[in-house]
C-alpha cells in the first residue's frame, strides 16, 4: 500500500484477518455502496444473515465494483475471487468502531459544538422528531433533522436517504456537510441502526423512546432481540442526559434489565385545552399528545424549561393523520403499518369521532415479518364497520399470498379484497358514495403514508395515496 492517510490507518488497526497484495493504488475515499466506488475506494461492506449465499452477494455487489480495498465484518467464501484487492475482516463486534475511525478521518465532526438528540420506538419517531424540529426552530435554533422523511434543515427538505437512520458512512457524510449550518441534530434512531452501529460515536444529550410493540422480527429474530437492540440507545446518551419515554411498561422493562446508565423518566400525555385542539386537530389523538410530551421534554433540554405554548408551532406531519373532510366524510391517510399502530389509530378514531362509522383500507409489506399480518387484520377488524384489504409493498412476494396471511386474522364478514391499490382506493370512495349523505364516516387509508411508490420485484413504481384520494374526490365531485 502507498502512504496515503487511509492506507496508514488501515495498517495501524487491529483486524481479525487481512489480505494485502503488493502495490495497489493510493486510497482516496470510503464508500458503503459498491456501485459508488472508484479505483481508490475502500468499500465497507457489512454482511448480514439475509438468506443469500456469499456467491450471490459477490455477483450482485462485488464482482463489477472497481474498489481497491474491501472491509467486511465477517469472512466470506468469495475472497479467493478478489486476488488483487486488499481485504480486511474486523473482529467480532468491532465493526462500528473500525468504520468510525475512518469516518473520523474523512468526515470529522465538531461534536463539542453540536447537540444531538435521538428518538427511537416502534411508532411515533417521525412525528416526535418533526414536532421537536418545529419547537426548536421557532425558538431560534438551527435544526438538522434526519429520519424517515429524509434530511431537513430548519424544516426545509434537503434530501431523501431511503432509510429511517442512514448507514454509518452516509450519516457521517451528511452530518459533516451540514454541521456548520445547525445547532441541533434531531434524528430518528431505528432498531436496525442501533444493532448495526450506524449511530456509533454520536453523543446524545438526551433521547426519547416512544413505545415498543412487535415489528421487524424478520430481522431481529424474536421480540427480546428487538427490545435489546432498541435499548442500546442508552449507550449513546452522555453523562448528565436522560431517556424520556411515555410507556410505564417500557420503563419497567428497562429497569428489570438492571439500573440504566442514565435516568429514565416517564411522561404523561400533554394536557391541552380546547384552543390547542381546535387549532391543531391532530392533537386530539392521545398518541400525538404523547409524542408532543416527548418533544417538549427534549426541547426543554436545549432551551431550558419555561412557560412556552409549543403547540402553536406544530404542523401536520406528512403521512401522519393527514385529513380531508367532505361534509360527513373524513378521509385519513396514515403510515400505520404495524398491529399496534393500527390498533392505536383506530381506537383514537373511535374516541375522537363518536357516532361515526369506520372504513379502513390497508395491506402488508412483503419480505417482512409474516407473523404480524394476521395481527394487523385482527386489529382492523376489531374497530371497523368494513375493511378493504389490498396490496402495499409486495417486494418479492405474491400480493395475494400476503393478503391470505392477513385474512387469517379476520372474520369473513365485513371485509373485501381488492388487490390493486388504486382500484381499492376507488372502491373505498364508491362505498362512501353509496351510503346516505347524513351518515358520518371516517375512512382510514393506512400503510403508505408519506411514501410515493409501490415496491415490487426490486422496482419502485410511482404511487401516492394522496394522489388517489384527490383523483377520486374530483371523480365524485367532492372537491
Phi, psi of 159 (to 5 degrees): -165, 160
Residue 214 has a pLDDT of 54
C-alpha cell of 68?
481497491
Domain boundaries of the chain, sorted by first residue: 5-106, 111-313, 322-475
Residue 218 has a pLDDT of 61
Please, are residues 326 and 458 in contact by the beta-carbon 8 Å criterion? no
Residue 220 has a pLDDT of 57
- The pLDDT tens digits of the residues spanning 198-225 come to 999 999 999 999 998 755 556 656 888 8
Residue 282 has a pLDDT of 87
C-alpha–C-alpha distance, residues 36 and 65, integer Å: 8
Residue 1 has a pLDDT of 40
Residue 30 has a pLDDT of 98
Coil, helix or strand for 144? strand
* Mean pLDDT of the residues in the chain: 94
**322-475 CATH:** 3.90.190.20
CATH architecture of the domain formed by 5-106? 3-Layer(aba) Sandwich (3.40)
C-alpha–C-alpha distance, residues 429 and 417, integer Å: 15
C-alpha cell of 336?
400505520
C-alpha–C-alpha distance, residues 41 and 434, integer Å: 61
Can you spell out the DSSP letters for 401-448? HHHHHHHTTS-STTEEE--SHHHHHHHHHHHHHHS-TTS-EEEEEES-
C-alpha–C-alpha distance, residues 410 and 375, integer Å: 9
One fold for both 111-313 and 322-475?
Answer: no
C-alpha–C-alpha distance, residues 208 and 130, integer Å: 13
C-alpha–C-alpha distance, residues 442 and 349, integer Å: 8
Residue 4 has a pLDDT of 92
Give the C-alpha distances (Å, rounded to integers) separating 70 from 40, 79, 172, 389. 11, 10, 19, 45
Per-residue pLDDT 10s for the chain (479 aa) are: 456 999 999 999 999 999 999 888 999 999 999 999 999 999 999 998 888 999 999 999 999 999 999 999 999 999 999 999 999 999 989 999 999 999 999 999 998 889 999 999 988 999 999 999 999 999 999 999 999 999 999 999 999 998 999 999 999 999 999 999 999 999 999 999 999 999 999 999 999 999 987 555 566 568 888 899 999 999 999 999 999 999 999 999 999 988 888 999 999 999 999 999 888 888 988 889 999 999 999 999 999 998 899 999 999 898 989 988 899 999 999 999 999 889 989 998 998 888 999 999 999 999 988 999 999 999 999 999 999 999 999 999 999 999 999 999 999 999 999 999 999 999 999 999 999 999 999 999 999 999 999 999 999 999 999 999 999 999 999 98
- The pLDDT tens digits of the residues spanning 304-352 come to 998 899 999 999 898 989 988 899 999 999 999 999 889 989 998 998 8
Q: Cite the DSSP H helix spans in 307-371.
A: 339-352
Partner residues linked to 330 by β-bridges: 325, 442
C-alpha–C-alpha distance, residues 383 and 350, integer Å: 8
Residue 217 has a pLDDT of 59
C-alpha cell of 185?
441534530
Coil, helix or strand for 211? coil
**111-313 CATH:** 3.40.1190.10
Enter the pTM of the model: 0.84
DSSP 8-state secondary structure symbol assigned to residue 397: S
Q: Which residue has the cell 388487490?
A: 419
- The pLDDT tens digits of the residues spanning 152-161 come to 999 999 999 9
C-alpha cell of 347?
381506537
Instruction: Calculate the CA dihedral of residues 455, 456, 459, 460 and round it to 10 degrees.
Output: -20
Give the C-alpha distances (Å, rounded to integers) separating 410 from 148, 184, 271, 462. 30, 45, 36, 30
In our burial notation (b when 16+ CB lie closer than 10 A, e otherwise), range 305-342 reads eeebebbebbeebbbbbbebeeebbbbbbbbbbbbbbb
Query: Strands 143-147 and 150-153, how do they pair?
Result: antiparallel
Nearest to 212 by CA among 344, 292, 120: 120
Amino acid at each position: 500500500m502507498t502512504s496515503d492517510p487511509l492506507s496508514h490507518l488501515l495498517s495501524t488497526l487491529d483486524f481479525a484477518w487481512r489480505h494485502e497484495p503488493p502495490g495497489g493504488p493510493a486510497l482516496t475515499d470510503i464508500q458503503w455502496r459498491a456501485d459508488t466506488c472508484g479505483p481508490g475506494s475502500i468499500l465497507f461492506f457489512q454482511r448480514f444473515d439475509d438468506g443469500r449465499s456469499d456467491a450471490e452477494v459477490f455477483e450482485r455487489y462485488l464482482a463489477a465494483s472497481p474498489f481497491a480495498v474491501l472491509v467486511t465484518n465477517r469472512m466470506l467464501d468469495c475472497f479467493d475471487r478478489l486476488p488483487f484487492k486488499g481485504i480486511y475482516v474486523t473482529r467480532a463486534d468491532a465493526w462500528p468502531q473500525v468504520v468510525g475511525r475512518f469516518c473520523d478521518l474523512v468526515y470529522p465532526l465538531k461534536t463539542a459544538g453540536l447537540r444531538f438528540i435521538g428518538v427511537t420506538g416502534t411508532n411515533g419517531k417521525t412525528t416526535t422528531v418533526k414536532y421537536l424540529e418545529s419547537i426548536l426552530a421557532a425558538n431560534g435554533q438551527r435544526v438538522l433533522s434526519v429520519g424517515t422523511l429524509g434530511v431537513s434543515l430548519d424544516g426545509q427538505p434537503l434530501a431523501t436517504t431511503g432509510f429511517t437512520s442512514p448507514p454509518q458512512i452516509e450519516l457521517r457524510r451528511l452530518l459533516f456537510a451540514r454541521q456548520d449550518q445547525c445547532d441541533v441534530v434531531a434524528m430518528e434512531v431505528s432498531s436496525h441502526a442501533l444493532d448495526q452501529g450506524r449511530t456509533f460515536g454520536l453523543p446524545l444529550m438526551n433521547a426519547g423512546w416512544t413505545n415498543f410493540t412487535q415489528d421487524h422480527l424478520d430481522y431481529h429474530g424474536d421480540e427480546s432481540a428487538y427490545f435489546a437492540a432498541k435499548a442500546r440507545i442508552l449507550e449513546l446518551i452522555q453523562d448528565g442526559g436522560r431517556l424520556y419515554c411515555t410507556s410505564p411498561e417500557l420503563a419497567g422493562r428497562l429497569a428489570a434489565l438492571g439500573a440504566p446508565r442514565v435516568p429514565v423518566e416517564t411522561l404523561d400525555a400533554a394536557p391541552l385545552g380546547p384552543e390547542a385542539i381546535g387549532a391543531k386537530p391532530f392533537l386530539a389523538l392521545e398518541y400525538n399528545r404523547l409524542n408532543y410530551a416527548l418533544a417538549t421534554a427534549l426541547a426543554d433540554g436545549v432551551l431550558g424549561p419555561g412557560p412556552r405554548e409549543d403547540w402553536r408551532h406544530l404542523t401536520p406531519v406528512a403521512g401522519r393523520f393527514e385529513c380531508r373532510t367532505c361534509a360527513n366524510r373524513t378521509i385519513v391517510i396514515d403510515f400505520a403499518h404495524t398491529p399496534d399502530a393500527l390498533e392505536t389509530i383506530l381506537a383514537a378514531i373511535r374516541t375522537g369521532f363518536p357516532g361515526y362509522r369506520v372504513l379502513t383500507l390497508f395491506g402488508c409489506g412483503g419480505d417482512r415479518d409474516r407473523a404480524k399480518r394476521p395481527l394487523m387484520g385482527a386489529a382492523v377488524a376489531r374497530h371497523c364497520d368494513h375493511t378493504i384489504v389490498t396490496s402495499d409493498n409486495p417486494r418479492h412476494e405474491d400480493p395475494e399470498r400476503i393478503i391470505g396471511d392477513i385474512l387469517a386474522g379476520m372474520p369473513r364478514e365485513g371485509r373485501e379484497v381488492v388487490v390493486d391499490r388504486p382500484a381499492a382506493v376507488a372502491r373505498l370512495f364508491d362505498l362512501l358514495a353509496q351510503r346516505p349523505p347524513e351518515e358520518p364516516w371516517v375512512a382510514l387509508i393506512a400503510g403508505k403514508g408519506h411514501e410515493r411508490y409501490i415496491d415490487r420485484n426490486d422496482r419502485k413504481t410511482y404511487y401516492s395515496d394522496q394522489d388517489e384520494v384527490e383523483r377520486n374526490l374530483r371523480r365524485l365531485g367532492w372537491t
